[in-house]
Amino acid sequence: MITVIYNEKQLRIENNFFLSKLLETMGITSQKGIAVALNYAVIPLDEWAIISLKDGDRIDLLQAIQGG
Protein backbone atom coordinates (compact mmCIF):
# COMPACT_ATOMS: atom_id res chain seq x y z
CA MET A 1 0.00 0.00 0.00
CA ILE A 2 1.07 3.55 -0.74
CA THR A 3 -0.28 6.95 0.27
CA VAL A 4 -1.17 9.63 -2.27
CA ILE A 5 -2.80 13.03 -1.90
CA TYR A 6 -5.94 13.42 -4.02
CA ASN A 7 -7.49 16.91 -3.94
CA GLU A 8 -5.98 17.61 -0.50
CA LYS A 9 -7.07 14.25 0.99
CA GLN A 10 -4.75 11.38 1.85
CA LEU A 11 -5.68 8.08 0.25
CA ARG A 12 -4.18 4.63 0.75
CA ILE A 13 -4.08 2.69 -2.49
CA GLU A 14 -2.44 -0.48 -3.68
CA ASN A 15 0.97 -0.53 -5.32
CA ASN A 16 0.98 -0.38 -9.14
CA PHE A 17 -2.19 1.73 -9.20
CA PHE A 18 -2.54 3.71 -12.42
CA LEU A 19 -3.80 7.27 -12.58
CA SER A 20 -6.77 6.25 -14.75
CA LYS A 21 -7.80 3.61 -12.19
CA LEU A 22 -7.67 6.16 -9.37
CA LEU A 23 -9.90 8.53 -11.31
CA GLU A 24 -12.33 5.72 -12.08
CA THR A 25 -12.36 4.75 -8.40
CA MET A 26 -13.13 8.36 -7.48
CA GLY A 27 -16.15 8.37 -9.81
CA ILE A 28 -14.61 10.31 -12.69
CA THR A 29 -16.32 8.71 -15.68
CA SER A 30 -15.87 11.43 -18.30
CA GLN A 31 -12.74 13.28 -19.33
CA LYS A 32 -14.70 16.20 -20.80
CA GLY A 33 -13.76 19.43 -19.06
CA ILE A 34 -11.28 17.66 -16.75
CA ALA A 35 -7.59 18.32 -16.28
CA VAL A 36 -5.41 16.28 -13.97
CA ALA A 37 -2.18 17.49 -12.40
CA LEU A 38 0.33 15.07 -10.94
CA ASN A 39 2.83 16.73 -8.64
CA TYR A 40 1.76 20.11 -10.07
CA ALA A 41 2.26 19.10 -13.74
CA VAL A 42 -0.78 18.69 -15.99
CA ILE A 43 -0.91 15.20 -17.45
CA PRO A 44 -2.27 14.70 -20.99
CA LEU A 45 -5.32 12.46 -21.25
CA ASP A 46 -3.48 9.87 -23.33
CA GLU A 47 -1.02 9.32 -20.47
CA TRP A 48 -3.56 8.69 -17.69
CA ALA A 49 -3.60 4.93 -18.35
CA ILE A 50 0.19 4.52 -18.36
CA ILE A 51 1.21 6.51 -15.29
CA SER A 52 1.72 4.36 -12.22
CA LEU A 53 1.30 6.28 -8.98
CA LYS A 54 4.05 6.37 -6.38
CA ASP A 55 4.05 6.90 -2.64
CA GLY A 56 3.64 10.60 -1.86
CA ASP A 57 2.29 11.61 -5.28
CA ARG A 58 -0.07 14.58 -5.30
CA ILE A 59 -3.02 14.40 -7.70
CA ASP A 60 -5.19 17.46 -8.28
CA LEU A 61 -8.37 17.27 -10.33
CA LEU A 62 -9.26 20.50 -12.09
CA GLN A 63 -12.70 20.82 -13.61
CA ALA A 64 -13.73 23.54 -16.03
CA ILE A 65 -16.87 25.35 -14.99
CA GLN A 66 -19.03 27.70 -16.96
CA GLY A 67 -19.38 31.20 -15.67
CA GLY A 68 -19.86 34.72 -16.71
Read off the pLDDT of residues 13-54 as tens digits, 9 standing for 90 and up.
998 899 999 989 888 876 778 889 999 999 998 899 999 999
Output the domain CATH number for residue 47: 3.10.20.30
Is the pLDDT at 68 greater than 70? The verdict is no
Instruction: Name the DSSP letter for residue 55.
Output: T
Neighbouring CB atoms inside 10 A of 43's CB total 16
Number of domains in the chain: 1
Residue type, 35: A
How far apart (Å, rounded) are the C-alpha atoms in residues 68 and 65?
10
How far apart (Å, rounded) are the C-alpha atoms in residues 26 and 5?
13
**pTM: predicted TM-score of the whole model, two decimal places:** 0.83
Is the pLDDT at 10 greater than 80? The verdict is yes
On whether residue 6 sits in a domain, the answer given is yes
Domain range for 32: 2-63
Neighbouring CB atoms inside 10 A of 7's CB total 11
On whether residue 68 sits in a domain, the answer given is no
